[in-house]
Amino acid sequence: MQLKKYLLKNSVRQLQVCLALSLIFSFEFANAQSSKDGQLRMTPNEIFDARAQGSKAPGSSNLEAVQVIVIHGDPSKKGLYAILLKVAANTKIPAHLHPDDRMAAVLSGTWYFGYGNKFDEGKLKKLPAGSVYSEVEKQNHFAMTKDEAVIVEITGYGPSGVTYVNPADDPANKK
């Protein structure tokens, strides 16, 4: 049992190191939060304190409870991009899709994520910090937070956007 705990702890640590390295390498040419020479270095505190551009960035869910920070590229244009989603506690994101393939990593908090054409808590998988998941091109998915805020890093190749399964669920259609 001790060996199993040791291996699990080390595999989680290795995953965290791999995620950190992938973030570092993907930021090599960062331009949204970086200096003029493309350099970007952000500590966890700087990520938490980063000023969000709002909830209406391409590739986001358009929900006020989801703040977007573009850290690389421009999700509305062709090319590699990376965004941070700061998702408030007790947020439900209805079923929707994006036109691009995306890979994501949970940086803090516990994210609940599922695939399907409608929000279904029974299909959600609990993803604690250090977890990764994919958002497949044009595949419907949904998510939620519970009693804590979550920060998720998403990398994709734009242009990105969002289309809700039920257009009435899209906050952009509400006044």
Residue the block writes with tokens 């029974």: 122
Residue 158 CB neighbours (<10 A): 20
Residue 38 to residue 14: CA distance in whole angstroms: 27
Look at residue 124 and give its three-state secondary structure.
coil
Q: Could you tell me the pTM of the whole model?
A: 0.76
Tokens read off for 2:
């001790």
Average pLDDT over residues 2-24: 48
Q: Omega into 159 within 30° of 0, i.e. cis?
A: yes
Residue 77 to residue 152: CA distance in whole angstroms: 21
| Residue 35 binned pLDDT confidence (cut-offs 50, 70, 90) | low
* Mean pLDDT rounded to a whole number for the chain: 82
Percent of the chain with pLDDT over 90: 57
Residue 152 to residue 128: CA distance in whole angstroms: 11
Per domain, the residue ranges of the chain are 42-166
| Residue 19 binned pLDDT confidence (cut-offs 50, 70, 90) | very low
Give the per-residue pLDDT at 132: 98
CA neighbours closer than 13 Å in the CB half-sphere of residue 139: 10
| Residue 20 binned pLDDT confidence (cut-offs 50, 70, 90) | very low
CATH architecture type of domain 42-166: Sandwich (2.60)
Give the per-residue pLDDT at 29: 34
For 99-132, how does the pLDDT look when each residue is reduced to its tens digit (9 = 90+)?
999 999 999 999 999 999 999 999 999 999 999 9
